[in-house]
Amino acid sequence: MTTRALRRWFVVHKWTSLVCTLFLLIVCVTGLPMLFSEQIWDTFVGDDDPPYEVLPPGTPNASLDVMVDKARALYPGQIITTVAPDDDEPAVLVAMAPSWQALEEDKQFPDRQSGHWLKFDARTAQLLKQSRPADAPKEPRSWTAAIMSTCTRLHMNLFAGLSGALFMGAMGAFFVASLVSGVVLYGRFMKRVPFGAVRRDRATRLAWLDLHNLLGVATLVWASVVGFTGVVNELQTPLFGLWRVTDVRQILKPYAGLPVPEQAHLTSVQAAFDTAARAAPGNKVTSLAFPGSPFGSPVHYVLWTQGATPLRARLFTPVLIDARTGSLTGAYPMPWYLRFLEISRPLHFGDYGGMPLKVLWALLDVVVIGVLISGLVLWAGKRRMATDARLRALGYELDDADTTPALGEVA
């Protein structure tokens, strides 16, 4: 590598790192509690549900229609919006609201919540618990919920919605660029220093450099995967929006403008689940949305199915079933860009290998925090030195005959 190229790679690494470091620190710190969100909720919030009835192993589940009928009997003037079996417990959640319009109006009033839910035992159809009525005073949010909500929103979009998400995606792209340029510089640096060496007997600055390089190369593959998948995840809103205005709009075009039928006249929910399971073999049905949803069809049940294995658990396939007749309209695998997005999620969050993988992800996250902090120390120590002087101070050999200045010669 020529001295001119080395200068340019150094400037690229310095500025891409500096631009994203603060935001990467926010992402790394907030990502730690997010990794263990389930354990945090179980420990500090717990579950006040009544115990499940002890039944013989293999007891079949009750019909979903029984639970739907019970929900309607409890709230006869309301509609059912979704029916969703629980992933971890033998339970079914039935969500209700005064109307679809009331749910849309709730978006304009954050303090108002018209919807509520009922939780049934999936085996006996017994009502276990329900959320507070919409007109009841709101309970103060627990400190656990406040902390987890703050971490999630900081991690995803800095409380700035889509603009914040796109900004964080750009920071992720800068991070990936800093990793690439760091690898190039480390390859040149390693010609003179043994791999993994930390020169404690030399200047403190060199020891910080060696520590920065060692931690960086140790986490390179993980950081590259998490950084790249983080960029992809920040694009979820525009990607799903693209899908809705292209494929979804074309699929639902023949049904646009049709009146939403009365829920009392709709066909069996249980039969719709069974039909969707046959239409997407190898998948499990996770939820059903009733006709009238703003993101659905006026006359169809929209059932979401997902892969049954850990690596396929985030690959979703929607199924449309005509709620007036119970007939299958079709199963519609997502386009390649959404499948790529969904595949990237478990790689980013590390939630497909149980607790051991979460612990590994957390340890690597802490190491990356060390890389970021050591990089700031290196920059702060000599931030006004010329590029060549900085490179020599860091142990690089330069060709004095090559006097071509680098872009951004003076830091």
Which residue would you say has higher pLDDT here, 108 or 162?
162
The pLDDT assigned to 407 comes to: 34
pLDDT at 398 (0 to 100):
63
* Per-chain mean pLDDT for the chain: 86
- Give per-residue pLDDT as tens, 6-19: 888 888 998 999 99
> Which of 32-36, 214-218, 246-250, 271-275 shows the lowest per-residue confidence on average (mean pLDDT)?
214-218
Segment among 30-34, 104-108, 216-220, 399-403 with least mean pLDDT: 399-403
- Whether residue 226 contacts residue 347, with contact meaning beta carbons closer than 8 Å, is answered with yes
* pLDDT score at 323: 97
Please compute the mean of the pLDDT values over residues 317-326 and round it to a whole number. 96
324, amino acid identity: R
Indicate the pTM of the whole model.
Answer: 0.82
Asked whether residue 400 carries a pLDDT value surpassing 60, the answer given is no
Average pLDDT over residues 359-377: 92
With 90 as the cut, is the pLDDT of residue 209 above it?
no
Quickly list DSSP for 73-119. HHSTTSEEEEEEE-SSSSEEEEEEES-HHHHHHHTT-TT----EEEE
Q: What is the pLDDT of residue 408?
A: 36
Question: Could you tell me which residue, 398 or 165, shows the higher pLDDT?
Answer: 165
Q: Which residues contact 56 (CB under 8 A, 6 or more apart)?
A: none
**164-168, 197-201, 312-316, 330-334: the lowest-pLDDT one:** 197-201
Question: For 402, phi and psi rounded to 5 degrees?
Answer: -90, 100
Instruction: Give pLDDT, residue 403.
Output: 44
Span 249-306, pLDDT tens digits: 999 999 988 999 999 999 999 999 999 999 999 899 999 999 998 888 999 999 999 9
- Binned at pLDDT 50, 70 and 90, residue 406 comes out as very low
Q: How many CB atoms lie within 10 A of CB 196?
A: 11
Q: What is the per-residue pLDDT across 83-101, written as a single tens digit (0 to 9) for each?
A: 999 988 899 999 999 999 9
Burial pattern 158-184, b for ≥16 Cβ within 10 A else e, equals beeeeebbbebbebbbbbbbbbebbeb
pLDDT for residue 203 is more than 90: no
Query: Which amino acid is it at 130?
Result: Q
Burial class (CB within 10 angstroms; exposed 0-12, middle 13-18, buried 19+) of 260: middle
Contact 382, 237 (CB under 8 A): no
Cα dihedral across residues 115, 116, 120, 122: positive or negative: positive
Q: State mean pLDDT over 174-202.
A: 79
Model pLDDT, residue 311: 67
pLDDT digits (tens, 9 = 90+) for 329-364: 999 999 999 999 988 888 898 877 789 999 999 999
DSSP assignment of 185-238, as one string? Answer: HHHHHTTTS-TT---TTS-HHHHHHHHHHHHHHHTHHHHHHHHHHHHHHTTHHH
Residue 30 predicted with pLDDT over 70: yes
Q: Tokens standing for 10? A: 């150094």
What pLDDT does residue 10 have?
86
Residue 384 has pLDDT above 70, yes or no: no
Quote the pLDDT of residue 25: 95
Mean pLDDT, range 209-227, rounded to an integer: 89
Measured over all CA atoms, what is the biggest interatomic distance in the chain, rounded to whole angstroms?
87
**Number of Cβ atoms within 10 Å of the Cβ of 50:** 12
Phi, psi at residue 384, to the nearest 5°?
-105, 10
pLDDT of residue 253: 93
Mean pLDDT of 187-214: 73
Position 15 scores a pLDDT of: 92
Query: Looking at per-residue confidence, does 405 or 109 come out higher?
Result: 109
pLDDT, residue 138, reads 56
Higher pLDDT, 54 or 202: 54
pLDDT per position as a tens digit, 119-172: 999 999 999 999 865 555 555 567 888 899 999 999 999 999 999 999 999 999
| pLDDT at residue number 308 | 79
Long-range pairs for 166-171: beta carbons < 8 A, 24 or more residues apart:
166/234, 166/235, 166/238, 168/23, 168/27, 168/230, 168/234, 169/230, 169/231, 169/234, 169/235, 171/19, 171/20, 171/23, 171/24, 171/27
Residues above pLDDT 70, as percent of the chain: 85
